[in-house]
Amino acid sequence: MYGKILITLDTTPTDRAILDHVRPLARLLGSRIVLLHVADGWAARTYGPDAVSDEVQEDRAYLERIRAELAAEGLKVEAKLAYGDPVTEIVRWVEQEGCDLIAMSTHGHRFLSDLIHGITASRVQHRVEVPVLLLRART
């Protein structure tokens, strides 16, 4: 059913919620997990994969830590780093690479905070043709 699950990460504590939720699902179904984070700082948006910054280095290290953690549990997992606008890059990745399910944590912002922080999960959900699992992280 879900042979390939894309988990989007934003390198915040909210990532734990979706990771903990998807682990048993992936294990049960024998799914392959792809971890995707979109670096969206100035260097990442300007230089893309050629960006050299503390942000990009920290993002790579974070992805590798999570990848290694899941792999140590016997899950099939790979990690990808994209650069630019998170919504655009997540949608582009799904269109180019394909997946059977997108899993995302949401921050649960309300109105004014949504306007300030954006609504990445909602915007992605309305631009893709695959199921999207949204899990509100407890803050």
Looking at residue 97, its pLDDT comes to 97
Looking at residue 34, its pLDDT comes to 98
Looking at residue 137, its pLDDT comes to 76
Looking at residue 18, its pLDDT comes to 95
Looking at residue 106, its pLDDT comes to 82
Distance CA 113, CA 101 (A): 27
Looking at residue 116, its pLDDT comes to 43
Looking at residue 117, its pLDDT comes to 44
Largest Cα span, the chain: 42
What are the structure tokens assigned to 60, written together? 């790579």
Domains defined along the chain, listed by start: 4-136 (3.40.50.620)
Quote the pTM value. Answer: 0.90
Looking at residue 139, its pLDDT comes to 59
Looking at residue 13, its pLDDT comes to 87
**DSSP secondary-structure letter at 73?**
T
Splitting the chain (139 residues) into consecutive groups of 10 residues, what average pLDDT does each group show? 96 92 97 97 89 92 98 98 95 97 80 54 92 84
Q: Give backbone dihedrals phi and psi of 120, rounded to 5 degrees, phi first.
A: -55, -50
Looking at residue 17, its pLDDT comes to 92
**DSSP secondary-structure letter at 48?**
G
CA angle 96, 97, 102 (to 5 degrees): 110
